[in-house]
Chains A and B, each alone.
Chain A
Amino acid sequence: MSGHSTFEPKHPALKWFESRLPLVGLIHSSFVAYPTPRNLNYWWTFGGILSLMLVCQIVSGVVLVMHYTPHITLAFDSVEHIMRDVSYGWLIRYIHSNGASMFFIAVYIHMFRGLYYGSYKAPREVLWILGCIIYLLMMATAFMGYVLPWGQMSFWGATVITNLFSAFPVVGPTIVEWLWGGFSVDNATLNRFFSLHYLLPFMIAGVVVLHVWALHVVGQNNPTGVEPKSPKDTVPFTPYATIKDGFGMVCFLIFFAWFLFYIPNYLGHADNYIPANPLVTPAHIVPEWYYLPFYAMLRAVPDKLGGVLTMFGAIIVLFFVPWLDTSKVRSGVYRPLFKQFFWIWVAVCIGLGWLGAKPAEGGYVIAGRILTIYYFAHFLIILPLLGLFEKPKAVPASITEAVLGKNRGAAPASAGVSAPQTKG
């Protein structure tokens, strides 16, 4: 999409097809000849890993639907039926439930990477916002998927999360009734969540296409934050990025397989193996781990509407990061102060996650309040001010200079690095 395709079909049949629909040329220019910065590190493999996880979730999900029944009297039993009766049903269900967690681990690393290296800055604002939209869709999808097994946590998670909307004045209670399709979480709720849980992943796939399109228009960021200036600064996507991404995926899948085969229920809750009971709430109710930081923020605010707004605000603020960060320097590598504040903020996010799993009482609430304030201060105060007061380190003139050093940067690169170079 950036630059011209260097694909020239040789076979007459392929020539005939290519002149009518240049599909192979598009794939070639996007995933073979596409120039990638030569200095990408392993944090850049998580985009590919996320695509893999989306495919993994869609494939395993489509198969689960073949055996699942979305009805309050049958849903719980049909999940147990998948676990006990269906051939390899246990494996496919554990792939799907652990896959959701792996998807979020990958997306959080991907987001931290983007925030550290300034991947949201001009001209990548739209790319960043599309990513935020994907993240929101992922959260909605995961939430509705967790309701489907119709265990105690499914039911009460659905009740609590939908009740968030009741905080809005005037329209709140009506919105909640319409979400439920009744006066409580019931069969109508389960059916519509099932329908939407099947729909949303395909919407995610659609936005992923836009995300990749936007990426290929503006080009990838890289650890230096310096745009590629000459063909020497880039290498072709294949074989360099494909092999590196492939290796990253394999390592990630080993990590995934460890959860899948050794501790498949570690990230879940035992209470969800109790069938949903609308008359009794479990004593200790917490959301899935990937929502915990936001759950901590919700509980930190002693006001219903305020808590809900704080929670949603924590995500909305991400959309504005491209304009909140005022620094001219893109990569955190050359920003000594930003670097420190970034890691403090990461620690705050993890701290909020830890607090989200603790009971809402005493010191936990106070700590939650402090960390919530810091979370917002990072975006609304620290990022804008850092750009004004921070003295960044010298940024290299080019990617090649950063990789090979100042003296060798101008010299012809060694044969091994530049041999398969093609114009992007």
Chain B
Amino acid sequence: MAATETAGTTRRDFLYIATGAMGAVGAAALVWPFVSQLQPDASVLALSTTEVDLTSIAEGQMVTVKWRGKPVFVWNRTEKDIAEAKEVQLSALLDPIARNANLAADAPATDENRAGEGHEKWLVVIGICTHLGCVPIGHSGEYDGWFCPCHGSEYDTAGRVRRGPAPTNLDIPPYQFVSDTKISIG
């Protein structure tokens, strides 16, 4: 055996490295299931779509539905609310991006881009303050939209942040109008 060994690398060096590499592959393969089990399981993924019937929401009324465990505000806005939102210049906004999952990532935060497509009286936003995750209170604050009780962020009638500390507008979840009176979120 010694005859096959050279001063540089030996047969034993090769065996050490091959064994170590095999051991590392095995350890990684063993660790993966224990990491993978942390992700949302099949029963959670199965609940990722929520349908909302709009006929029962009167004009001016705001309802909260649950989607993926989060509150989603569905607001049947009045003419006054819409007009108020349309008056605002983009330059007056803290966050000029629409944050609408159904549009391009850089779409501007106009009321058209915030409201439902072809259904401008409907506003659908995720009811979680973009500051630190509290649920803002509707129909309140200086801008007639939402006021967050935790740290005083205020949102307007298009769900756009108008006073900090929240950094971005309320997110709009992916959703579509299944019919004129029904939306499907997720």
Q: Is the CB of A67 within 8 A of B42?
A: no
For residue B32, which residues in chain A have a CB less than 8 angstroms away from its CB? 88
Q: Which residue of B lies closest to A84 (CB)?
A: B42
Q: Is the CB of A63 within 8 A of B41?
A: no
For residue A88, which residues in chain B have a CB less than 8 angstroms away from its CB? 32-34, 36-37
Q: Mark A64-75, 1 if CB is under 8 A from B, else 0.
A: 001100000000
In whole angstroms, how far apart are the Cα atoms of A88 and B36 in the complex? 7
B4 at the interface (CB under 8 A from A): no
> Quick one: which of A81, A84, A87, A92 contacts B39, CB cutoff 8 A?
A87
For residue B33, which residues in chain A have a CB less than 8 angstroms away from its CB? 87-88, 91-92
- A74 to B: closest C-beta gap in Å: 13
Q: Is the CB of B43 within 8 A of A63?
A: no
A366 at the interface (CB under 8 A from B): no
- B148 to A: closest C-beta gap in Å: 32
> Which of B32, B37, B43 counts the most A-chain CB atoms under 10 A from its CB?
B37
A86 at the interface (CB under 8 A from B): yes
Q: Is the CB of B43 within 8 A of A81?
A: yes
In whole angstroms, how far apart are the Cα atoms of A67 and B44 in the complex? 12
> Which of A59, A66, A84, A87 counts the most B-chain CB atoms under 10 A from its CB?
A87
For residue B41, which residues in chain A have a CB less than 8 angstroms away from its CB? 67, 81, 85-87, 89
Given contacts A81-B43, A85-B43, contact A67 B37 (CB under 8 A): yes
Q: Is the CB of B43 within 8 A of A92?
A: no
Q: Which of B42-85 contact A (CB under 8 A)?
A: 42-44
Q: Is the CB of B43 within 8 A of A87?
A: no
Q: Is the CB of A89 within 8 A of B34?
A: no
For residue B37, which residues in chain A have a CB less than 8 angstroms away from its CB? 63, 66-67, 86-89, 92
Q: Is the CB of A87 within 8 A of B36?
A: yes
For residue A66, which residues in chain B have a CB less than 8 angstroms away from its CB? 37-38
For residue A81, which residues in chain B have a CB less than 8 angstroms away from its CB? 41, 43
In whole angstroms, how far apart are the Cα atoms of A59 and B34 in the complex? 9
For residue B38, which residues in chain A have a CB less than 8 angstroms away from its CB? 66
Q: Mark B5-44, 1 if CB is under 8 A from A, else 0.
A: 0000000000000000000000000001110111101111
For residue A85, which residues in chain B have a CB less than 8 angstroms away from its CB? 41-44
- A264 to B: closest C-beta gap in Å: 14
Q: Which of B72-103 contact A (CB under 8 A)?
A: none
Q: Which of A86-120 contact B (CB under 8 A)?
A: 86-89, 91-92
For residue B34, which residues in chain A have a CB less than 8 angstroms away from its CB? 59, 63, 88, 92
Q: Which of A23-73 contact B (CB under 8 A)?
A: 59, 63, 66-67
For residue B42, which residues in chain A have a CB less than 8 angstroms away from its CB? 84-86
In whole angstroms, how far apart are the Cα atoms of A86 and B43 in the complex? 8
In whole angstroms, how far apart are the Cα atoms of A63 and B170 in the complex? 35
In whole angstroms, how far apart are the Cα atoms of A85 and B41 in the complex? 5
For residue A92, which residues in chain B have a CB less than 8 angstroms away from its CB? 33-34, 37
- A198 to B: closest C-beta gap in Å: 18
In whole angstroms, how far apart are the Cα atoms of A87 and B33 in the complex? 7
In whole angstroms, how far apart are the Cα atoms of A391 and B61 in the complex? 98
- B34 to A: closest C-beta gap in Å: 6
Q: Which residue of A lies closest to B34 (CB)?
A: A63
Q: Which residue of B lies closest to A60 (CB)?
A: B34
- A412 to B: closest C-beta gap in Å: 21
What are 29 A-to-B residue pairs whose CB atoms are below 8 Å? A59-B34, A63-B34, A63-B37, A66-B38, A67-B37, A67-B41, A81-B41, A81-B43, A84-B42, A85-B41, A85-B42, A85-B43, A85-B44, A86-B37, A86-B41, A86-B42, A87-B33, A87-B36, A87-B37, A88-B32, A88-B34, A88-B36, A88-B37, A89-B37, A89-B41, A91-B33, A92-B33, A92-B34, A92-B37
